[in-house]
Structure 1
Amino acid sequence: METTYRDAIAELETILRALETDTVDVDELTARVQRSAQLIRLCKQKLRTAEDAIDRVFENLDQDEDDSLADDEPGIQAPAPAPAPKRASRTPRDTGGGLLF
């Protein structure tokens, strides 16, 4: 079964709490840090995928709007679409749970 974003965040929070309370021995520390890195990569990938899907939806909406404008006015060409606004770079985001990645 695929790990969901929510499950990954919950597991990261659990690992963080254990690390903060110093209940993790050295042997477990490496494994937990490695698992955290896997979960962070998974979350970043899921965020990128969601962002790309949302961008495609808005691009399609803009295209549909442009097409309908061109259809409404025979002989009049729809204006070229305005450039998309610049998005924030894909840098670590605060998930609200105190974890940054």
Structure 2
Amino acid sequence: MDNTTYRDAIAELETILRALETDTIDVDELTARVQRSAQLIRLCKQKLRTAEDAIDRVFENLDQDEDDLPTPAEEDAPPLFAPPTPKRAPRAPRDTSGGLLF
């Protein structure tokens, strides 16, 4: 497997292009350079696809994490199920002097 990095592949492609533009490659070497260029272009495309897929997965995971967070409305909303509050016995009525009215 080719361990060439994307940056190295681009640099080599630029070198080949400069050589083609300046006519420093003879005809016999031209075919080999064109074939190498095709390999490098395929490698770069694959690395870009791999990077794009990895970035998409990161954003999908972020979206899933956000889906798990409560929205502001959910944070303030009462719970879906609340246990019943215990009922207290009614207080006996009192008069204004603080005594019990019986």
Structure 2 residue runs of 5 or longer lacking an equivalent are 81-102
- Give the alignment of 1:43-54 within 5 angstroms: 43-54=44-55
Identify the structure with bigger relative contact order (alpha carbons < 8 Å, sequence gap 6+). Answer: 1
Residue in structure 2 matched with residue 12 of structure 1 by the alignment: 13
Detail structure 1 runs of 4+ shifted over 2 Å in the superposition: 69-75
Q: TM-score, with normalisation over the residues of structure 1?
A: 0.68
Structure 1 residue 21 and structure 2 residue 22: aligned? yes
How many angstroms apart in 2 are the aligned matches of 1:31 and 1:23?
A: 14
| Bigger radius of gyration | 2
Structure 1 residues 16-60: Cα deviation after superposition (integer angstroms, max 9, x where no partner) = 000000111111000000000000000000000000000000000
Aligned residues with identical type, % of pairs: 87
Considering only aligned residues, what root-mean-square deviation do their CA atoms show, in Å?
Answer: 1.9
How many angstroms apart in 2 are the aligned matches of 1:61 and 1:45?
A: 24
2:7 alignment partner AA: R
How many angstroms apart in 2 are the aligned matches of 1:68 and 1:2?
A: 41
Residue in structure 1 matched with residue 61 of structure 2 by the alignment: 60
Structure 1 residue runs of 5 or longer lacking an equivalent are 76-101
Residue in structure 2 matched with residue 37 of structure 1 by the alignment: 38
How many angstroms apart in 2 are the aligned matches of 1:68 and 1:52?
A: 25
Deviation, 1:69, is: 2.4
How many angstroms apart in 1 are the aligned matches of 2:15 and 2:39?
A: 14
Structure 1 residues 43-81: Cα deviation after superposition (integer angstroms, max 9, x where no partner) = 000000000000000000000000122795754xxxxxx
How many angstroms apart in 2 are the aligned matches of 1:63 and 1:16?
A: 45
